[in-house]
Structure 1
Amino acid sequence: MGKVAIYYFSGTGNSLHVARELQKRVPETKIIPIVNLLHKGVVETSAKTVGFVFPIHLAMSPGPVRKFLEKLHLQSAEYIFAIATRSGTQHRAFIDVENILRKKGKVLDSFFSLNMANNDPKFDDWHEATEEEIDDLEVEVQSNLDSIQEIVLNKEKSHKKDTTFTRDMPIFSIISPLLPFFNRFYSVEFYHDSKCVGCGTCEKVCLSGKIKIVNEKPLWQKDVPCFSCYACINYCPQQAIQIKSPRLIKTYTEVNGRYSHPYATVEDIAGQK
């Protein structure tokens, strides 16, 4: 393993793109998919610098990332950083990471939030990011990565207050401590509509292995947890996967488009497994 290890989790490519771009900037860096290591009881690393790149799920770090962190032995790590990709929402992801690291006698030396395109098409006000919007976000991401590169190479501390969120929630500091409890009860139910041709793409990109093709149609197995990565709904070439409307709340996936990062292919996402 190189001197720098970056562990990433990515459902539709934003975090994968960031991990790859940072790898180009930091010598002797290896990027490692978290999903591929979740089956292990213990994960060892010999890296001196360790980073984590992941999206924001429900204003927190994704469940699989937290599970992975619990397994990871960090005795060799002298510097630890985290990067969260998000659509602009406030979050408590770095608190999640810090809480786990503290139990291991480690600290989160630096953390950064990067605004990128939104991959959650279930809301009425959601729209598929245009090429121009993606390009504008990419300029900002590249600029931020230039700064992150210097901080990581010099092993500097960076705990800047988050001021780049685009969705202000004045009561977030009040509800933040409650999120780990309430998010345990949140779930999304997917289904396929008549446009499904049984191509198997959803099964291929499903990071948890929840989707299984049965009689040429996807089946979401009830006994397998969902990672809420949204790969299935966004990579379906027919846009045949939808999110069921829960009671009293309407979802809009049947009329909205989809989003996956332009540099992340089906093979890239599936390759994490």
Structure 2
Amino acid sequence: MSTELYYFSGTGNTYYIAKKIAHSFSDSKLIPIGSLNLESPVKTNAQNIGIVFPVYFYDAPKIVKRFLEKIELSDQPYVFLIANYGAGGGNALANCTSILNARHIGVSSTFSFVLPDNSIIFPTPKAKMPQMLTDADHEIDKTIQSLLNHEKGKLPTQKIATHLVSSFMQKLSTSYLEFNKLNIDKAKCTNCGLCSKVCPVDNITTSSTYPQMNHKCEMCFSCLHHCPEEAIRFKHMKPKTDYQYTNPNITLKELLRI
């Protein structure tokens, strides 16, 4: 029985979940959503289809929702959604379920995990991270058994209050904080090119001087957390130290393949 896990990951949490689940199925494939051409239908005939993603501002990343509008299935596979977050899941799973239902694609089950947040504004305290990672590991193991058994669960529903909060947060992040318009501190940047290599949507172009930010940022913050000189910032970001986070179970080499 073939299994395909489509995922979007910036700092490794989502990739870790997807990788661990993929290893539990005998015939599985990991597919980064950022590598797909979403201008055309994404066709699959897999019997098990998982979509794994982080939660941004109580919702799924925009690229994930665009992907859900493009995926085309054959027959009636076992479809499951998995979200992960540091603060709250909001309507992310419910919104994704709704998109698929509107396209007559049934979702069999949804799951969510709490992992350290890569937020710069509300970061997870370093002291709490080890236990969070351990707890998540146990929950992932339990979820894997449910997936192998093709268990079905109660699907989430959208909440109006959460939608309003999410909309406000998204507007604040783009119009005031400008999370989607990251800047290069030229006094710190060494033009190593790592930011371009870790960007899952190829939003950063290298040049002979400094990296150039383009206009398709998904606000995953992979570049910001991986920059060895801490030279990437967004508007109104106060200078901090020790703010960078990447999942400790995932190597940089693995993320470069995302």
| TM-score, scaled relative to structure 2 | 0.87
Q: Is the 8 A contact 2:38 2:66 kept in 1?
A: no
1:211 matched residue in structure 2? 204
The residue type equivalent to 2:146 in the other structure is I
Equivalent residues in 2 for 1:160-171, closer than 5 Å: none
- For 2:70 and 2:45, the matched residues in 1 are separated by 14
- For 2:36 and 2:125, the matched residues in 1 are separated by 32
Match of 1:231 among 222, 229, 236: 222
Identity %: 27
Measured against aligned partners, the alpha-carbon deviations of 1:147-200 in whole angstroms (never above 9, x if no partner) come to: 2112111111123779xxxxxxxxx94432336755367421321222211101
Please state how far the C-alpha of 1:263 moved relative to its aligned partner. 2.9
- For 1:253 and 1:17, the matched residues in 2 are separated by 29
Q: For the structure 1 residues 6 and 83, does the alpha-carbon distance in structure 2 shift closer, same or farther, using more than 3 Å as the test?
A: same
2:190 matched residue in structure 1? 197
Q: Is the 8 A contact 1:26 1:149 kept in 2?
A: no
Q: How large is the RMSD of aligned CA atoms in angstroms?
A: 2.4
Equivalent residues in 2 for 1:4-15, closer than 5 Å: 4-15=3-14
Match of 1:129 among 85, 107, 126: 126
Q: How many residues align?
A: 251
| TM-score, scaled relative to structure 1 | 0.83
The alignment partner of 1:217 has SS state of: coil
The residue type equivalent to 2:183 in the other structure is Y
Q: For the structure 1 residues 209 and 73, does the alpha-carbon distance in structure 2 shift closer, same or farther, using more than 3 Å as the test?
A: same
Please state how far the C-alpha of 1:39 moved relative to its aligned partner. 4.3
Please state how far the C-alpha of 1:267 moved relative to its aligned partner. 3.4
The residue type equivalent to 1:129 in the other structure is K
Match of 1:240 among 227, 231, 238: 231
Runs of 4+ in 1 over 6 A off after TM superposition: none
Structure 2 unaligned spans of 5+: none
Q: Is the 8 A contact 2:93 2:156 kept in 1?
A: no
- For 1:17 and 1:218, the matched residues in 2 are separated by 28
